[in-house]
Chains A and B, each alone.
Chain A
Amino acid sequence: MSLELEFADGRDVFATEDMVLNMGPQHPSTHGVLRFIIRADGEVMRSAKADVGYLHRSIEKIAEKVGWHGFMPYTDRVDYVAAMTTNQAWAMAAEVLGGVTVPRRGEYCRVIAAELGRICSHLLAAGAMGMDIGAITPFTHAVRERELINDLLEELCGARLTFNYMRIGGVAWDLPPGFGAKVLRFLDHFEPYVDELDDLLSGNKIYIERLANVAVVSRERAIAYNLVGPNLRASGVKYDIRKHLPYSVYPEFDFEVPIGEGRHGSVGDCWDRYIVRLHEMRQSARILRQAIDGLPEGPVIAKVPRNYKPAAGEVHVHVETPRGDQSWYVVADGTEYPYRVHIRTGSFAAMAMIEELSRGLMIADLVALIASFDIVAPEVDR
């Protein structure tokens, strides 16, 4: 008796098919509205293809219609997890085009606000990392600390998420009385908290097992895919816009650029991307202390005409947001509206890399990978 190894139509009896899974647009771990088309053989992925565009709000096009001042609130929505830095990028682009000089106190206010926002964003990233791995407690603790920053920023500009704090030529409001002391008091509390979060998460055996050696991005691939910010630095590339293309008053501050060291695996794995963010929070706290100490007196905003019309020209500004180098390419044609705005964001580059990294990973690893890249959906699509 012969074994029938084929169906009547000639298909192999033992042939298996890959399963196509749709992860998103509504899925709890996609941090917004992302979609991945996963081809999986059981739990192991053949590929996860990112499908972007679900959160496209044509912010760049809106800029061409609302004018230079009017676009500021829209920049909050580019990356609503860290709105201060996007505010700053737009203000900087407009200032360079119009030749406006920001008063020193204004720059200090910007740095204080931006670094608070960076801590905010990294707290959320570290917490969400834990949550996507299955540990819920770090997230609630991180959000608890983030709430304190939100209180501070609310006092600063009246908003807790979409700040709309910066203006072309400076910032909208000076620091409220006693703000510096409050920030210092927060930092006294926060710096031990980072160690606590470190204790809670970083050393956890399961956490390390889940993240170490998962989705390793080598130095070369990271540069080839144009990863930026903490994702790039985790791969061992020491590149921080604040240090290497200095803007604002960052050259006046003493801080370090942490890079991934591969403590539990290879350099550039998920664990490195997580720990780099943790270290960056400590560095942000250092910058904040220096900024509060050296806060100069004076105006916070330069005289800028209400009908702002920079001369025709183009500019490309880089800002180090929590998700890396966000570069804005702005073209002015001498009218009261920008001619063209293009925003290049870190999350978008990271999204592009996921397909390559996902081959051979398990579905659970994809969740860790997305979280470790700290992808924020609105920043991908704008």
Chain B
Amino acid sequence: MRAYLDAIAAGYPTVSPALVYLIGMLAFGALVVFVFILPVAGITSWVERRVWARIQSRIGPNRVGPGGFLQWLADGLKNLLKEDVIPAAVDVPLFRIAPYVVVAGFVAAFVALPFAGSLIIADLNIGILYISAITSLVVIGILMAGWSSNNKWSMLGGIRSATQIICYEIPVGLSIFPVVLLSGTLSMQGIISAQGWAPTSWHMFHSPFLFVSFLLFFVGALAEGNRTPFDLPEADSELVAGFATEYSGMRSLLFFLAEWGNLYVIGVLVSTLFMGGWQVPHFTDNGVVLAVAQFATMFVKAYFWVFVAMWVRATLPRVRVDQFMTLCWKYMVPIGLVNVVGTATMMVVLPQGSIVLRWIMVAMTAAILVQFARRVFFHLRRANYGRLGRISEGAA
């Protein structure tokens, strides 16, 4: 990135390099936001609705475009055109700015998210630290929205969200430590480079500690992203719509944009930290083809976790506030601490890791997945819907 801008600045000696950098970065930022982030977040909303519909034996949005694919655009346009209602008694400046803070928090995370080996906006040497810090910015926006709405349900939602993100930051942080210990770097690209393309070289299968870390991280990330079973801030059956109760039109949509966008961030983080990120076998020397393959790998891995999050959301009920705190402080934090110590011990005992252990871990995971798939297919066979149809129409 910097090299390109230097070249451009050299071509226009009369313009100050700082200005070129500024314009260049803004343009690139806008490009990433509008070409990648917004469509991904929007399409995720469509995918989520279709996945839900499939699980809930409904059809889901299927009118706009092929298979309803353009539903997200239609929704966006509709919400843009809606009146921007600001209720009478709200704290107007805070109320207005809150959705932007939320969106800024999630968009800023993309600065350090790797897309491929050569595609990253800024490979910060504190990458993962930066991301876990900047995504917490979201909570400030949510708290602002909850407080400024002048609605008790909103406030409860906002406070729940703040509690949630502050608490779950700790187990998430603790589950990142083992990865950082292993890779010896905080940089996102560094963490990916420390792994290989094969599952046996992923951090996830390094040792049982890392595998548990991975589970902790995914659960904690769901909690930080306000996803079911931790969607307490917007618990629709309890708090109406939580912090978003008083919002309508585009402002309301921005919250959900951040939520769906955050799903992708979670997916990228899980695959970066534990699943080898964009690593592909070095099958060609063509840089562009390799970059495309890496990008596709990363996207598929990230989207797999997005899909799992959707699946979880359609399956699980919501936990209660006290149970949620119990889970965090009594289970996840101690387990996280054990993981850090255990990984450190492992690294002293077996500095190079153990390929046998890695294979055992992979085999066990595969066995669990196979068993899970067998159960799913067992239930699919047993579920007898579809053979019946509308009873009153069929012949008796």
Q: Which residue numbers of A lie inside 8 Å of B, CB to CB?
A: 19, 21, 27-29, 43, 130-137, 140-141, 144, 148, 151-152, 154-155, 178, 181-182, 185-186, 189, 192-193, 196, 199, 204, 206-207, 209-210, 362-365, 367
Q: Which of B38-46, B125-133, B217-225, B381-389 contacts A (4 or more CB under 8 A)?
A: B381-389
Say yes or no: B56 contacts A21, CB within 8 Å.
no
Selected from B235, B236, B238, B317, the residue in CB contact (under 8 A) with A206 is B317
Selected from A144, A154, A199, the residue in CB contact (under 8 A) with B57 is A144
Tell me which of B57, B317, B320, B323 has the highest count of chain A C-beta atoms within 10 A of its own C-beta.
Answer: B317
Say yes or no: A136 contacts B314, CB within 8 Å.
yes
CA–CA, A140 and B240, complex, Å: 20
Closest 9 CB pairs of A and B: A134-B318, A181-B396, A140-B56, A135-B317, A133-B317, A29-B237, A178-B396, A151-B392, A134-B317
Say yes or no: A140 contacts B317, CB within 8 Å.
no
Known pairs A137-B314, A210-B320, A363-B239 / 18 extra A-B pairs, C-beta < 8 Å: A28-B240, A29-B237, A43-B321, A135-B318, A151-B393, A152-B392, A182-B396, A185-B388, A185-B394, A186-B391, A189-B385, A192-B384, A196-B383, A210-B319, A210-B323, A363-B156, A364-B318, A367-B238
Say yes or no: B237 contacts A367, CB within 8 Å.
yes
CB-CB < 8 A to A199: which residues of B? 379
CB proximity of A27 to chain B, nearest CB, Å: 6
CA–CA, A199 and B236, complex, Å: 24
Say yes or no: B384 contacts A189, CB within 8 Å.
yes
Please tell me the number of chain B residues within 8 Å of chain A, measured between CB atoms: 40
CB-CB < 8 A to B320: which residues of A? 209-210, 362, 364-365
Selected from A182, A193, A196, A364, the residue in CB contact (under 8 A) with B238 is A364
Say yes or no: B237 contacts A148, CB within 8 Å.
no
For B241, the closest partner residue in chain A by CB is A28
Fill in one digit per residue for B306-317: 1 if any A CB lies within 8 Å of its CB, else 0.
000000001111
CB proximity of A189 to chain B, nearest CB, Å: 5
CB proximity of B17 to chain A, nearest CB, Å: 54
In the complex, which residues 339-396 of chain B have their Cβ closer than 8 Å to any Cβ of chain A? Answer: 379, 382-385, 387-388, 390-394, 396
Say yes or no: B237 contacts A131, CB within 8 Å.
yes
Instruction: Indicate if B169 sits at the interface (CB-CB under 8 A).
Output: no
CA–CA, A140 and B229, complex, Å: 18
Say yes or no: B392 contacts A193, CB within 8 Å.
no
CA–CA, A136 and B310, complex, Å: 12
CB-CB < 8 A to B322: which residues of A? 362
The answer to whether residues A206 and B229 also contact, given A27-B240, A141-B57 and a CB cut-off of 8 A, is yes
Q: Which residue numbers of B lie inside 8 Å of A, CB to CB?
A: 52, 55-58, 152-153, 156, 228-229, 231, 235-240, 314-323, 379, 382-385, 387-388, 390-394, 396
Say yes or no: B390 contacts A151, CB within 8 Å.
yes
CB proximity of A6 to chain B, nearest CB, Å: 27
Say yes or no: A154 contacts B317, CB within 8 Å.
no
CB-CB < 8 A to A21: which residues of B? 152-153
The answer to whether residues A134 and B57 also contact, given A28-B237, A182-B391, A362-B320 and a CB cut-off of 8 A, is no
Say yes or no: B56 contacts A136, CB within 8 Å.
yes
User: Taking chain B's interface residues, is the majority helix, strand, or loop, or is none over half, making it mixed?
Assistant: loop
Say yes or no: B238 contacts A210, CB within 8 Å.
no
User: Taking chain A's interface residues, is the majority helix, strand, or loop, or is none over half, making it mixed?
Assistant: helix
Say yes or no: B56 contacts A137, CB within 8 Å.
yes
CB-CB < 8 A to A154: which residues of B? 392
For B232, the closest partner residue in chain A by CB is A364
CB-CB < 8 A to B323: which residues of A? 206, 209-210
Tell me which of A134, A196, A199, A209 has the highest count of chain B C-beta atoms within 10 A of its own C-beta.
Answer: A134
CA–CA, A26 and B131, complex, Å: 40
CA–CA, A185 and B393, complex, Å: 12
CB proximity of B316 to chain A, nearest CB, Å: 6
CB-CB < 8 A to B383: which residues of A? 196
CB-CB < 8 A to A209: which residues of B? 319-320, 323
CB proximity of A265 to chain B, nearest CB, Å: 14
Say yes or no: A204 contacts B390, CB within 8 Å.
no
CB-CB < 8 A to A207: which residues of B? 317
Say yes or no: B240 contacts A135, CB within 8 Å.
no
Say yes or no: B396 contacts A185, CB within 8 Å.
yes
The answer to whether residues A152 and B391 also contact, given A28-B236, A29-B238, A140-B57 and a CB cut-off of 8 A, is yes
Say yes or no: A364 contacts B235, CB within 8 Å.
yes
Say yes or no: B314 contacts A204, CB within 8 Å.
no
The answer to whether residues A206 and B319 also contact, given A137-B314, A196-B382 and a CB cut-off of 8 A, is yes
For A365, the closest partner residue in chain B by CB is B320
Selected from B55, B238, B317, the residue in CB contact (under 8 A) with A363 is B238
CA–CA, A182 and B391, complex, Å: 7
For A185, the closest partner residue in chain B by CB is B391
CB-CB < 8 A to A132: which residues of B? 237
In the complex, 27 of the A-B residue pairs with CB atoms within 8 angstroms, ordered by the A residue number, are A19-B152, A21-B152, A21-B153, A27-B240, A130-B317, A132-B237, A134-B318, A136-B314, A137-B55, A140-B56, A140-B57, A151-B392, A155-B392, A182-B391, A182-B392, A189-B388, A189-B391, A192-B382, A192-B384, A193-B384, A196-B379, A206-B319, A206-B323, A209-B319, A210-B323, A363-B238, A364-B321
